[in-house]
Amino acid sequence: MGIIKQPGTLTESELINRIQNGEGELFEILIRRNNPYLYKIGMSYGYNHEDVQDLMQESFIAAYLSLQKFEGRSSFKTWITRIMLNQCYQKAQKQSFKNEKANGIVNEKATPMFESNQSTDTYRSVLNNELSNIVSNALVSIPFEYRMVFSLRELNGMSITETADLLNISETNVKVRLNRAKHMLREKVEEMYSPEEIFEFNLIYCNKITDEVMKKIYTLTDT
């Protein structure tokens, strides 16, 4: 008899295969693994916290409904990132988008700041006025082409090839833009705050997003 793996230890391909074969409840694991990445992408567009949560839910549901078409040519993380980027872009194009973007940032292609290398169960408020203003000022000071490369490479862990493909630029451009983005942005902010303090997607938000998405998935698939 083979070793029975706990769901949390399954590889991405094992998870997707089992979900595609009817174990839809395992999609929750993919949500939890990718929540922080999507959150940073949504915040990068200047949307407020509530709007980002909505965009994340829409992205995860769209991914679930299309999962049978996923062939593994890229990682799920790259695939869901592309979906989230598309959702953010589409929302930004709708003049009737119901909620104002945070802090008046109107460039839909701004990006988040730093990624926490630690996980914690302790709720940390990162949207206080002082930190929010510092982050917003830093975001608008860096041109889009550098912000997006920095986000995908440094924050979301995309490879050079994945980043180039997502942004439709060359791998050389990815390297050049990343170096310039670090020079313009990272040192400026890190001298005041540690990476762990900025835009951390904590357990409370993760649980909320996961629960909401799974609830909608069960509603959609309930026959």
> Which position has the higher pLDDT, 197 or 30?
30
Instruction: Please give the domain boundaries of the chain with CATH numbers for all domains.
Output: 11-221 (1.10.1740.10)
DSSP character at residue 174:
H
Range of lowest pLDDT (54-63, 100-109, 137-146) = 100-109
pTM: 0.65
Is 102 a residue whose pLDDT tops 90? no
What are 1's two structure tokens?
């008899």
pLDDT for res 198:
52
pLDDT for res 27:
94
- Residue 46 backbone zone (phi > 0: left; psi -120 to 50: alpha; other: beta): left
* Cβ neighbour number for residue 103 with a 10 Å cutoff: 14
Is 114 a residue whose pLDDT tops 60? no
What are 112's two structure tokens?
């988040």
Name residue, tokens 């942005």.
185
Mean pLDDT of all residues in 97-120: 41
Is 48 a residue whose pLDDT tops 90? no
> Which position has the higher pLDDT, 204 or 162?
162
What are 150's two structure tokens?
């920095």
Mean pLDDT of all residues in 104-121: 39
Is 104 a residue whose pLDDT tops 70? no
Amino acid found at 13: S
